[in-house]
């Protein structure tokens, strides 16, 4: 079995990124690239073979490859991002995935960002956000329920994506910001709540039994460490200014 991660180089135009819930502040693109390179090195250390896509200089959000697709054991689903200007990003990601999976696509009028898709075993939670709509969820049910997946819509308020509010941090353990989602949706799981002073702290990337986690949230990191979760620290402070997070910058999947 092989472990792969698709990444894309940081665009020169990153400072012109889409923003929904954050104010625009200057982004140091060179520093963002250095942080992204270190992020890729962490992926490699955790066993991923990298599939690096080239920079898209005129597509500022293209580094956030997670939003363009999500990959299951049976198929890869190419999204239709909620921001019009990001839809052209999906073509190259679909080509990168084609050797490894059958490809399915979300069609108009559905819109969905991969950041709104949380997969936990056979359950797929989909955030109803400013980027993802009910039509896309209905298409996902038609595409994926025949494969045995269960699709659940989740209302998201106050943040960009579902995975800004909840991610898996261990086998049956979720890290949650309870102000942005109804935690009762996930009552079958063990819940760790973020420290209330760190509102963006619910996003971590679980690879095997290790959690890539931002250094920006030490108080929440302590809660995770106290639970016995192995943390791999990463610094994505420049990409965070573009509403990016740890999961956003890669598409991780396995092959048999």
Catalytic annotation, residues: 161, 248
Other Cβ atoms less than 10 A from the Cβ of 234: the count is: 22
Cα 25 to chain centroid, rounded: 22
- Burial zone of 84 (CB within 10 Å; 0-12 exposed, 13-18 middle, 19+ buried): exposed
SS3 183: helix
Alpha carbons 24 and 45: distance in angstroms, whole number: 33
- Pair 165, 175: CB distance under 8 Å: no
Phi, psi of 166 (to 5 degrees): -160, 135
Other Cβ atoms less than 10 A from the Cβ of 127: the count is: 29
- Pair 10, 29: CB distance under 8 Å: yes
């Amino acid at each position: 079995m092989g472990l792969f991660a698709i990444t894309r180089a940081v665009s020169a135009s990153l400072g012109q990124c889409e923003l929904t819930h954050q104010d625009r502040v200057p982004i140091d693109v060179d520093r963002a690239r250095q942080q992204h390179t270190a992020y890729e090195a962490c992926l490699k250390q955790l066993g991923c073979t990298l599939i690096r896509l080239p920079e898209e200089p005129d597509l500022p959000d293209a580094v956030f490859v997670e939003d363009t697709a999500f990959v299951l054991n049976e198929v890869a689903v190419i999204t239709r991002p909620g921001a019009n200007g990001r839809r052209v990003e999906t073509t190259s990601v679909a080509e990168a995935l084609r050797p490894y999976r059958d490809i399915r696509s979300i069609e108009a009028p559905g819109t969905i960002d991969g950041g709104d898709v949380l997969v936990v075993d056979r359950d797929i939670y989909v955030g109803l956000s400013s980027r993802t709509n009910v039509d896309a969820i209905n298409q996902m049910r038609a595409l994926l329920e025949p494969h045995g997946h269960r699709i659940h819509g989740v209302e998201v308020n106050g943040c960009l994506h579902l995975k800004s509010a909840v991610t898996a941090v261990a086998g049956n353990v979720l890290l949650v910001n309870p102000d942005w989602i109804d935690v009762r949706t996930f009552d079958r799981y063990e819940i760790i709540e973020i420290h209330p002073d760190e509102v963006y702290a619910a996003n971590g990337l679980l690879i095997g039994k290790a959690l890539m986690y931002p250094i920006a949230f030490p108080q929440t990191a302590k809660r995770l460490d106290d639970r016995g979760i192995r943390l791999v620290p990463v610094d994505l402070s420049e990409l965070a200014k573009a509403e990016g997070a740890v999961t956003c910058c890669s598409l991780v999947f396995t092959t048999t």
